[in-house]
Amino acid sequence: MSTRTVLHEADISRALTRISHEILESNKGPEGLVLLGIPTRGTTLAQRIGALVGDFGGIAVPVGALDVTMYRDDLHRNPTRTPQPTDIPSVGIDGRTVVLVDDVLFSGRSIRAALDALQDIGRPAAVRLATLVDRGHRQLPIRPDFVGKNLPSAREERVNVRLREVDGVEEVTIES
């Protein structure tokens, strides 16, 4: 098995800064935004992006977490998933622009589950998707609005995002 690093700490930082600016530009400012990270690393990325959007936009942006475990369509194949807490900011999501944040977009199934979970919580004005890595291979018609890095990869390869807060190291690697 070989592993190669495709994004280093500085690359990840630049990608998150760019995504933050794109979110602000797309939304015409920070008003009405809510960022929801998909655990585990999506939540960490949402917190970082939220801080950057707040710095650039001049006001704090609510950030939370949206666990999609029980909405996944593959629970029968992997029933040992441990649900993570869902933490919706006190402002809620009704009438707001919700930006879902995930680390790696692959088949699109996690995002489909996130859309189902959002329906049970409220009715946002719009839902956008930000992902650090888009590796292709979609099985559903889902496309990110904000991408840190498009990373074409073979189906059998594994893309690993490691973040300082979770893993103690900051990098994106591909294992083949």
What's the pLDDT at 80?
63
At residue 72, the pLDDT reads 84
Q: Could you list the mean pLDDT of each consecutive 10-residue stretch along the chain, which spans 176 residues?
A: 95 98 98 97 98 97 96 73 88 98 96 96 98 95 97 94 97 96
Residue 78, domain member (yes or no)? no
Is residue 28 situated within a structural domain? yes
- pLDDT at residue number 54: 97
Does 81 fall in a domain? no
pTM beyond 0.85 = yes
Residue 79 lies in a domain: no
Domain that holds residue 100: 3-70+88-175
75 within domain boundaries = no
Q: Residue 149 is part of a domain; what is its CATH number?
A: 3.40.50.2020
Residue 171 lies in a domain: yes
The pLDDT of residue 76? 67
| Residue 97 forms part of a structural domain | yes
Domains: count for the chain: 1
Residue 30 lies in a domain: yes
What is the DSSP track for the chain?
A: --EEEEE-HHHHHHHHHHHHHHHHHHHTSSTTEEEEEPTTHHHHHHHHHHHHHHHHHSS---EEE---GGG-TTTTT-TTPPP---B--TT-STTSEEEEEEEEESSSHHHHHHHHHHHHH---SEEEEEEEEE----SSS---SEEEEE----TT-EEEEE-HHHHSS-EEEEE-
